[in-house]
A and B are shown apart, each in its own frame.
Chain A
């Protein structure tokens, strides 16, 4: 599903990703853990197509398509979803309008019929109910005046409504209390299945208590220095990054 090979990228001439290779097969959830400054967020942004990063080498393919050649909106329509570490506020844009516009834009890019207002509202209300969120969420402006937890819940709501095949979670657990963390995890777990994959980027093991990964990778210095099963996360939690990074060096 997602296949990254030798990916190198820099920002403002500074090399951040230094030859990452990683494959996430269909139906699997992988975690990427790493210390601050290891390139975790850069990887998420490069994969989702944010401006300002220069790919200097390697490839990334998504269902066989050259991901790096696609516009961000085309990546979304192809089924990629980035849950932001810091969700962006959009004053003057209502959440319902935002969600419906996004869903229909993806339908249009895929050549599928669009949802009308009634169909969309029905769908949105059903998803809100599943996530135990209030309808009020739809009436507010996107993320404006939301608490940190509400912003992350809104990311999960977007994910539920956009139904991606692949979710990239960029430190979605940062700044969350345990209740919000559980809601986020439930949102991801609800999508799990043979046709859904995710790459969970996190600094702490905590989130992985709720989203059990099939595989854990450790990122340091812009490279993956170790890969293993869920037990790798526990080892990091017990021993910290320092020893592992030193071993790899």
Chain B
């Protein structure tokens, strides 16, 4: 295999030209995505949706078409949990490393390529890029009325290149599952996954995500969740890794009495940038959405939260709540917060709030007066700040993994 150097969007097109004959699935869909991308280009800060997240570092990077390396060092970093797991390495599903329960169905995208119905390349340039270049991914199905319990999904990146995996998660009627997705990597790479989630009637998905990508990595993840009547999508994202990341979560409460929790915490330092963007569409009556988003920002890091709640005309009795809190641990850190409510129904309850603050000097002195060194005291207060968001993670094992990740982060980067 020849080694090619790509840079900017031309690099992605060159890669597409080279890969096109070998890519799985509907080549017409890929050509359409490429055409969209040619017109729109990568997002820039002139686009309202990308105002606070500048992709120039991604556009300027050249991602080598490096070969996959041994993932064992990354595998060893996964938490030791007594749970089945699904392992992706450099965007490819690895059955040999995966141990899934028999009642769960899993197919690699490469074997059964389907682009799904929720993600729309015309609206999202990163989805267009993914559609153009997706080589593999997973499609996980929990059959009706099955409780799959906890499944760990590991996304390991060993190679300094761009990967654009395409995933699908389907919970059939009355199914239950608790997913813990963990993103780890080494080197300078772009990870641009698109995930479509379908939650059937009366189903319940707990979705915890730990984005701990490599320090030099870029993570641009787009998730679409369609939540049917009387079902629950309970998600929590902890973003601590990557040089630049964006998690864009689209949740549609498509059936009556659907519930969506889109909670998140971001802890950043140095020059890290993390953007958590949510688009919640209340498309049916009696839906409830809850968002608690926390940012703890040290160094010169920058956190972004954009939260849009759209209530369609027929979505009466909607209950929407959004809270965004930021803790600035350094005078050079920055938070950008943009709530956006668009309400077209007249009998709804929607509220949002945002607070920005520093560590409390009295609390810090209280801890130090008891003998706790300053850095450790600051760490305790930061964990306390994040705790009411992390406490919402329903699955105990997932919650413990996230708590440990926060603790280790603080040990690595005392701020």
Cβ A76 vs Cβ B371 within 8 A: yes
Cβ A158 vs Cβ B366 within 8 A: no
Q: A-facing mask of B41-79, CB < 8 A → 1, else 0?
A: 000000000000000000000000000000000000000
Cβ A82 vs Cβ B369 within 8 A: yes
Cβ A93 vs Cβ B384 within 8 A: yes
Segment of A61-69, A99-107, A123-131, A226-234 in the binding face: A99-107
Across the interface, name the chain B residue whose C-beta is closest to A164: B371
Q: Which of A90, A106, A158 has the most CB of B within 10 A?
A: A90
Across the interface, name the chain A residue whose C-beta is closest to B362: A88
Cα distance, A99 to B371, chains bound together (Å): 10
Does B385 make an interface contact (CB < 8 A)? yes
Does B332 make an interface contact (CB < 8 A)? no
Q: A-facing mask of B354-379, CB < 8 A → 1, else 0?
A: 00000011110111111111101100
Using A101-B376, A105-B376 as known contacts, say yes or no to A88 and B371 having CB atoms under 8 A apart. Answer: no
Question: Residue A102 contacts which of B362, B367, B383, B385 (CB distance < 8 angstroms)?
Answer: B367
Cβ A101 vs Cβ B368 within 8 A: no
Cβ B373 vs Cβ A73 within 8 A: yes
Cβ A105 vs Cβ B385 within 8 A: no
Cα distance, A81 to B374, chains bound together (Å): 17
Q: Which of B205-224 contact A (CB under 8 A)?
A: none
Question: Residue A92 contacts which of B368, B372, B377, B383 (CB distance < 8 angstroms)?
Answer: B383
Min CB–CB distance A170 → chain B (angstroms):
11
Cβ B373 vs Cβ A105 within 8 A: yes
Cβ B370 vs Cβ A92 within 8 A: no
Cβ A73 vs Cβ B372 within 8 A: yes
Using A90-B384, A92-B384, A101-B380 as known contacts, say yes or no to A106 and B365 having CB atoms under 8 A apart. Answer: no
Chain A residues whose CB sits within 8 angstroms of the CB of B362 once the complex forms = 88
Min CB–CB distance B364 → chain A (angstroms):
9
Cβ B371 vs Cβ A105 within 8 A: yes
Does B387 make an interface contact (CB < 8 A)? yes
Min CB–CB distance B365 → chain A (angstroms):
5
Does A34 make an interface contact (CB < 8 A)? no
Cα distance, A91 to B363, chains bound together (Å): 10
Cα distance, A89 to B367, chains bound together (Å): 11
Across the interface, name the chain B residue whose C-beta is closest to A102: B370
Using A92-B385, A101-B376 as known contacts, say yes or no to A87 and B366 having CB atoms under 8 A apart. Answer: yes
Cβ A90 vs Cβ B368 within 8 A: no
Q: A-facing mask of B367-403, CB < 8 A → 1, else 0?
A: 1111111101100110111111000000000000000
Does A51 make an interface contact (CB < 8 A)? yes
Across the interface, name the chain A residue whose C-beta is closest to B380: A93
Chain A residues whose CB sits within 8 angstroms of the CB of B385 once the complex forms = 92
Q: A-facing mask of B111-135, CB < 8 A → 1, else 0?
A: 0000000000000000000000000
Does A50 make an interface contact (CB < 8 A)? yes
By size class, the interface of chain B is 20 to 34
Cβ B372 vs Cβ A48 within 8 A: no
Chain A residues whose CB sits within 8 angstroms of the CB of B372 once the complex forms = 73, 101-102, 105
Across the interface, name the chain A residue whose C-beta is closest to B373: A73
Across the interface, name the chain A residue whose C-beta is closest to B360: A88
Cβ B370 vs Cβ A158 within 8 A: yes
Cβ A90 vs Cβ B376 within 8 A: no
Min CB–CB distance A53 → chain B (angstroms):
11
Cα distance, A158 to B369, chains bound together (Å): 11
Min CB–CB distance B392 → chain A (angstroms):
13
Cβ A77 vs Cβ B384 within 8 A: no
Does A11 make an interface contact (CB < 8 A)? no
Cβ A109 vs Cβ B366 within 8 A: no
Chain A residues whose CB sits within 8 angstroms of the CB of B371 once the complex forms = 73, 76-77, 102-103, 105-106, 109, 162
Q: B-facing mask of A32-64, CB < 8 A → 1, else 0?
A: 000000000000000011110000000000000
Does A72 make an interface contact (CB < 8 A)? yes
Q: Which of A92, A93, A101, A158 has the most CB of B within 10 A?
A: A92
Cα distance, A86 to B366, chains bound together (Å): 10
Min CB–CB distance B148 → chain A (angstroms):
32
Does A146 make an interface contact (CB < 8 A)? no
Does A235 make an interface contact (CB < 8 A)? no
Chain B residues whose CB sits within 8 angstroms of the CB of A90 once the complex forms = 363, 366-367, 381, 384
Cβ A84 vs Cβ B366 within 8 A: yes
Using A88-B362, A92-B388 as known contacts, say yes or no to A71 and B380 having CB atoms under 8 A apart. Answer: no
Question: Residue A88 contacts which of B366, B374, B380, B383 (CB distance < 8 angstroms)?
Answer: B366
Cβ B376 vs Cβ A71 within 8 A: no
Q: Which of B367, B374, B380 has the most CB of A within 10 A?
A: B367
Cα distance, A106 to B387, chains bound together (Å): 25
Question: Residue B363 contacts which of A76, A88, A103 (CB distance < 8 angstroms)?
Answer: A88
Question: Residue B361 contacts which of A51, A76, A105 (CB distance < 8 angstroms)?
Answer: A51
Question: Residue B370 contacts which of A49, A76, A89, A91 (CB distance < 8 angstroms)?
Answer: A76
Q: B-facing mask of A99-138, CB < 8 A → 1, else 0?
A: 0011101100100000000000000000000000000000
Chain B residues whose CB sits within 8 angstroms of the CB of A51 once the complex forms = 361, 365
Cβ A76 vs Cβ B369 within 8 A: yes
Chain B residues whose CB sits within 8 angstroms of the CB of A73 once the complex forms = 368-369, 371-374, 377
Chain B residues whose CB sits within 8 angstroms of the CB of A75 once the complex forms = 369
Cα distance, A13 to B386, chains bound together (Å): 37
Chain A residues whose CB sits within 8 angstroms of the CB of B370 once the complex forms = 76, 98, 102, 105, 158, 162
Cα distance, A89 to B365, chains bound together (Å): 12
Chain B residues whose CB sits within 8 angstroms of the CB of A105 once the complex forms = 370-373, 376
Residues of A within 8 A of B (CB): 48-51, 71-73, 75-77, 81-82, 84, 87-93, 98, 101-103, 105-106, 109, 158, 162
Sort A-B residue pairs by CB-CB distance and give the 5 closest, nearest first.
A92-B384, A76-B371, A102-B370, A106-B371, A88-B366
Q: A51-B365, A73-B372, A102-B367 are in contact. List 9 more A-B contacts (CB 8 A).
A: A72-B368, A73-B374, A76-B371, A87-B366, A88-B366, A91-B388, A92-B388, A98-B380, A102-B370
Q: Would you give 17 A-B contacts (Cβ < 8 Å), ordered by A?
A: A72-B365, A72-B368, A73-B368, A81-B369, A88-B366, A90-B367, A91-B384, A92-B384, A93-B381, A98-B370, A98-B380, A101-B376, A101-B380, A102-B371, A102-B372, A103-B371, A105-B371
